Amino acid sequence: MLKRSALVLVLPLALLGVFPASAAVKASDIIQRAIDGFVRPAYASLHQHAEILTKAMHKLCEAPSQGGLGAARAEFSATVDAWSSAEIIGFGPIKDNNRLERMLYWPDRKSLGLKQVQAALSAKDPTATDPAQLTGKSIAMQGLGALEFVLYGDGADTLTGKDDPYRCAYGAAVAGNIESMAKDVNEAWNKPDGFAAIWANPGPQNPLYRDGNEAVTELVGVFINELEMVRDVRLKGFLGGKPEADKPKQAIYWRSQNTTTSLAGNLAGIDALFQASKLGDALPSDARWMAESIHIQLVNGVATAKSVQGPIDKVLADPALREKLEHFTLITSSLSTLIGTRLTAEFGLTAGFSSLDGD
């Protein structure tokens, strides 16, 4: 599994809660806006969609049908979309109890997680159908990847009938587990004395953020790390340098055709977070153009990803659609330079990082 949030920004100065670029902009205000304007709404949306998904799964199990399966699949896609935005905040409460990995075990290059899910379906272990007991099992069996296989993998057609109730019961348990994690993270971000208070109130006594620069470094790290994740891991993981090097089955959510939904959601989340935090207001006046340029490029990236629809193997086989994915790569590269090099330089931050360390 990939280690996220490994960004290290080398700070040349110890600052007392304000940016060197603009003393009128307090770091704590930027972080509070990021929390109130993006993080809390994003995880609240995820919780809401996860609740609806769980209900759809239970309804499917009670009355299996093609329509019920279609409804469950639609709610799965909606939950993936919500998660793709929220997941860019890969620190804080989502890290507690391995929730990040339990929510989405990916990439699974050696198919270890897939084999565990298939084994559970084959053995029909009754404890895997209990959300409470499922939390004690392998992380690969608990989240969106497992549920995607239940809904779209080999044997998923049995969900329209009553011949394989175990598969649906296990899927419902996974959905319930996702809902439980989303609920816990949503509540944690809203605790008055929780992680949000720690992040938004840097200081010498703060256990994580000794000054405003460290707090904002966490925020800037989200933009840099996630752009790198989207481009180098998620996109280039299946998009080869040449068509013959493509690996469609390495694409995230390839079974449910949510690959580009996820990529678009990631960039939409980055844009929403950047806008909500108003980080651009801390730039010197002659560098404010960066904020608008970042927004425009993120919007273009989202539109480009959304314009690519259908099974990812067919997308890759279509020169016109494949070209759009290559254009998406260029957009993310441009954004990485703009944020990781130019914006951080304006703030006096030096990005000396090895962002994503995979195994």
Are residue 285 and residue 140 in the same domain, yes or no?
A: no
Residue 328 contacts by C-beta under 8 Å, 6 or more apart in sequence?
235, 263, 301, 304, 305, 308
Q: Of 200, 234, 260, which residue is a domain's last?
A: 200
Closest to 194 in 3D by CA, of 21, 43, 302: 43
Dihedral sign of CA atoms 318, 324, 329, 332 in order: negative
Q: What angle do CA 82, 146, 38 make, to 5 degrees?
A: 15
Q: Of 170, 200, 230, which residue is a domain's last?
A: 200
Residue 249's domain spans which residues?
A: 212-347
Does 358 reside within a domain? no
Q: Of 155, 170, 200, which residue is a domain's last?
A: 200
Are residue 192 and residue 340 in the same domain, yes or no?
A: no
Does 9 reside within a domain? no
Closest to 31 in 3D by CA, of 263, 219, 231: 219
Are residue 161 and residue 51 in the same domain, yes or no?
A: yes
Are residue 185 and residue 233 in the same domain, yes or no?
A: no
Report the distance separating Cα 273 and Cα 198, nearest Å.
Answer: 18
State the total domains in the chain. 2
What the block records as the tokens of 198 is 């720690």
Q: Give the pLDDT of residue 289.
A: 95
**Which SS3 state, helix, strand or coil, does residue 3 take?**
strand
Does 7 reside within a domain? no
Please name the residue that has the structure tokens 């304006």.
346
Q: Give the pLDDT of residue 24.
A: 60
Which phi and psi angles does 125 have, rounded to 5°?
-65, 115
Helices (H), 190-258: 195-200, 212-228
Does 356 reside within a domain? no
Does 357 reside within a domain? no
The whole-model pTM stands at 0.91
Q: Give the pLDDT of residue 15.
A: 35
Does 172 reside within a domain? yes
Which phi and psi angles does 2 have, rounded to 5°?
-80, 145
CATH of the domain at 34: 1.20.1420.20
What the block records as the tokens of 30 is 């930027």
Report the distance separating Cα 251 and Cα 308, nearest Å.
Answer: 14
Does 205 reside within a domain? no
Q: Give the pLDDT of residue 351.
A: 52
Report the distance separating Cα 64 and Cα 58, nearest Å.
Answer: 10
Instruction: Walk along the chain (359 residues) and give the pLDDT tens digit of each residue.
Output: 544 433 444 333 333 344 555 446 788 999 999 999 999 999 999 999 999 999 999 999 999 999 999 999 999 999 999 999 999 999 999 999 999 999 999 998 888 899 999 999 999 999 999 988 999 999 999 999 999 999 999 999 999 999 889 999 999 999 999 999 999 999 999 999 999 999 999 999 999 999 888 999 999 999 999 999 999 999 999 999 999 999 999 999 999 999 999 999 999 999 999 999 999 998 989 999 999 999 999 999 999 999 999 999 999 999 999 999 999 999 999 999 999 999 988 888 755 443 433 33
Whole-angstrom Cα Rg for the chain: 21
